[in-house]
Amino acid sequence: VEYWDLEQAKLRKGSSAAEFQGRIALVTGAASGIGQACVKELLANGAVVAALDVNPLITEQYETSNVLGIRCDVTDSADVADAVERVVLRFGGLDIVVSNAGIFTASAPISEMKDEDWSRSLDVNLSAAMRLLRVSVPYLAHGIDPSIVIVGSKNVSAPGPGAAAYSAAKAGLTQLARVAALELASSGIRINTVHPNAVFDTAIWTDEVLQARANHYGLTVDEYRTSNLLGTHVSSKDVARMVCAMAGSLFAKTTGAQVPVDGGTERVV
C-alpha cells in the first residue's frame, strides 16, 4: 500500500491525467479475447489492473508491474475471494470490476441438452459473476468512482437456436446486473452491461462453434461473420472501448444500462 501511495504521488505530478490514473481495476477472463483487450485498454488509460484467468500462464502473460496476473477459477468461491483479497493487498483497494469470464458449451437443441453442459454454462456465465460481486462490493464501496461492467451478450435480446444454455445464462446475468444497480446505487457503485455480438477473436469462437452457429442460420462461415445490419466485424477492442467508457466519466451518471456493441441486430431494431 505504501508503494502504491508513492506511485500515485509521482503520477499526480504529471500535467495531464489519464482517465483512470490512480484507479485499480480487476478483469476476469483476462488471458484472451475481450478480457485481454480490456486489460490493455484500462492500462492505456492509466489504471493498474488485476488480470484473472483460469489459465495458469496468466501470472506471466503481462510483462509490466502495473498488471497483477492471478490464476483464478471463477466457479470456486474461495478462489475468487482469495484473488480479490490479493488485489486489495497489492494495490490498496478496488475501483473497477469487469466481469467478463465466459464459455460457450456445445451447441445443442433443448431436446438434446446435456445436464453437464447446462450446469457448466450457468456456473461460469452467471453464478461466477455473483461470486465476484459478492466479494468485490465491500471494497468497491470505498473505491474511487466505483464501477462494475458486466459483459453480457446480444443473445439476451436475440437468442439463437442451439444456444439455450448460453442465452439463458446471459439473460440471468443481465437480471443480476439490474438488481445490483438497485442495491448498490446508495453506495455510489455504478453497474452497467455491454452486449457484444459475435466477437470472433475470442476463445469462445472455436472453428467448431463458428461452423455450428453458421449452420443453424443456413449461412457460410464468411456470411455469418458479418451477419449484422452494418455488415461489420466486431472486435474485442471495440468491446473493450465500451467497457472503459462505462467505467469512466462518460457514464458517471448512468447505472443499470445495457448497451449493444453488435453492428445492429434486425431482430432487436
The catalytic residue positions are 166
- The neighbouring-strand residues paired with 263 are none
Among positive and negative, which fits the CA dihedral 93, 97, 100, 101? positive
Give the cell for residue 5.
501511495
Separation between Cα atoms, residue 238 and residue 242, nearest integer Å: 7
What are the b/e assignments for 30-51, b being 16+ CB within 10 Å? bbbbbbbbbbbbbbebbbbbbb
In the chain, the amino acid numbered 1 is: V
Contact 83, 50 (CB under 8 A): yes
Contact 265, 154 (CB under 8 A): yes
Contact 191, 255 (CB under 8 A): yes
By C-alpha distance, which of 64, 39, 34 is closest to 49? 39
Separation between Cα atoms, residue 39 and residue 227, nearest integer Å: 28
Burial of 242 (0-12, 13-18, 19+ CB in 10 A): buried
Contact 171, 124 (CB under 8 A): no
Separation between Cα atoms, residue 216 and residue 228, nearest integer Å: 16
